[in-house]
A and B are shown apart, each in its own frame.
Chain A
């Protein structure tokens, strides 16, 4: 089974910072990687799918990239609304895996 190891688990940053979250897959995978944002008490929200496609309405400061076994979510200039927990996900034709999550805090 493919495992997705996400790092860091917690990230402290300030408004305006460039932030990078990494997900490493246990084996080389295709383009089926997504990133979600979750705020306390709320359902997750899709940000990026197929590694680098921004979902509709998601600000351009969010960028997904990567290939093979390493994938990243970058927030180019952190905004107050971005403090949340972020999850990567690998979706496949028969099994899904989420990363452990990265909490972005002030």
Chain B
């Protein structure tokens, strides 16, 4: 059974930094792309970033480019999201998820429970 367990979500001040982690199990980690999708309170889904199965290629949404960095560590089956220069509009639940394909051109088929990031002074 695929399990994705996010951690690291908390209250942070505007301009601050945060690192989200996602511990993955139940599947061959290197065979699938991984992604972060967020959802602001009461709002819709918004793609944040995706990394391919090998970790060599990353893709970031324009609204986080230059501030957020997605990465993966196959030695401990962990997906990470480094977030810098956080803004109030980054407040959201961040979902870690698997992509059905090795590259980014596939649907999301497994989701974590989400990690809440609140950016406020």
A interface residues with partner B (beta carbon < 8 Å): 1, 32, 34, 36, 38, 43-46, 49-50, 55, 87, 89, 91-101
* Cross-interface CB contact of B108 among A44, A97, A99, cutoff 8 Å: A44
**Interface pair B61/A95, CB less than 8 Å apart:** yes
CB distance from A23 to the nearest CB of B (A): 12
Q: Once the chains bind, are A101 and B61 in contact (CB under 8 Å)? A: no
User: Are B45 and A91 in contact (CB-based, < 8 A)?
Assistant: no
- How many angstroms between the C-alpha atoms of A36 and B107 in the bound complex? 10
8 Å CB contact of A96 from B103, B104, B113: B104
Give min CB distance, A85 to chain B, whole Å: 8
A12 to B3, CA, bound (A): 35
Residue from A43, A55, A95, A99 whose CB has the most chain B CB atoms within 10 Å: A43
Cα distance A89–B100 when bound, in Å? 14
The residue on B at minimum CB distance from A33 is B107
Which of B44, B100, B103, B113 is the one whose CB lies under 8 Å from A101?
B44
Contact B113 A91 (CB under 8 A): no
Q: Which residue of A lies closest to B105 (CB)?
A: A93
A-B contact count (CB 8 A): 63
Q: Would you call B59 an interface residue if the criterion is a C-beta within 8 Å of the partner chain's C-beta atoms?
A: yes
Interface residue? B95 (CB, 8 A): yes
Given contacts A34-B107, A95-B47, A95-B59, list 12 more A-B pairs with CB under 8 A. Answer: A36-B45, A43-B95, A43-B97, A44-B95, A45-B111, A55-B109, A87-B44, A91-B99, A91-B105, A91-B107, A98-B46, A101-B44
What is the distance, in angstroms, from A16's C-beta to the closest C-beta of chain B? 28
For A99, what are the chain B residues with a Cβ–Cβ distance below 8 Å? 44
Q: How far is B106's CA from A92's CA once the two chains are assembled, in angstroms?
A: 8
Given contacts A87-B44, A98-B47, A101-B45, contact A46 B108 (CB under 8 A): yes
With a cutoff of 8 Å between Cβ atoms, the chain B residues found around residue A38 in the complex are: 45
